[in-house]
Copies of this chain bind each other. A is one copy, B any other.
Amino acid sequence: MARWEPGARERLQVAALELFAARGFEQTTTADIAQAVGLTERTFFRHFADKREVLFFGQEQYLQAFLDGVEAAPDAAAPLEMVASALNAAARLFPNERRGYSRARQSVIERNPALQERERHKFAELASAVAGGLRGRGVTEPAATLAAESAATVFGIAFARWIAEGEDRPLAQIASDVLGELRNLTSPVSRATTT
């Protein structure tokens, strides 16, 4: 009994996302998700605490990638260089073939305020963990929190662009460009005339 189903988690994730998109998040039950891939609800709960967590599974890995990136930055790097290294490490978790899944996930989240709140909370936890990593590398406060919040903001903006229709640059490149814009915030506004 309770045997391990290879690939069950991924199949549940894909089925859940399809159901959330088709019926709405609230209208989908864990039993619906399990049935869609021929598994029992009991198997569902071996993988996920509840249906919401299907959308947020993998956060530890995601946080760890940011922290590994902070660790990988050279000694005496500036805080924003450590952030650049963290963004690069995190972007590796999102190869281009994940774009479709990420796009569908975002569209489910945008239609549900409770999921939006869960997403805000995720970014707050991310910033807090990255700030801890930066302090571990000798960055003092408030610089550590400022840099960590910037990392979360840059990642959020880059991610939103990455999943935008028509965008085809890799996430790492978009994140690097957005971080460049952050460095550039001290330059006067150039009044581009849009004609």
Contacts and interface: CB of A to CB of B under 8 A. Distances in A.
Interface in A143-195: 143, 145-147, 149-150, 153-154, 157, 161, 178, 181-189, 191-192
Q: Interface SS of chain A: helix, strand, loop or mixed? A: helix
Interface residues of A, number: 37
Nearest to A154: B146
Contacts of A42: none
A147 B117 contact: no
A80 interface: yes
Interface of A: 76-80, 83, 117, 120-121, 124, 137-140, 142-143, 145-147, 149-150, 153-154, 157, 161, 178, 181-189, 191-192
A43 to B, nearest CB: 31
Contacts of A149: 149-150, 153
Contacts of A124: 120
25 contacts: A76-B191, A77-B188, A78-B185, A78-B186, A78-B188, A79-B185, A80-B185, A117-B120, A117-B121, A120-B120, A137-B189, A138-B189, A140-B192, A142-B181, A143-B181, A145-B157, A146-B150, A146-B153, A146-B154, A146-B157, A146-B178, A147-B185, A150-B150, A150-B153, A153-B153
Contacts of A189: 76-79, 137-139
A185 B146 contact: yes
Contacts of A185: 78-80, 83, 143, 146-147, 150
A103 to B, nearest CB: 19
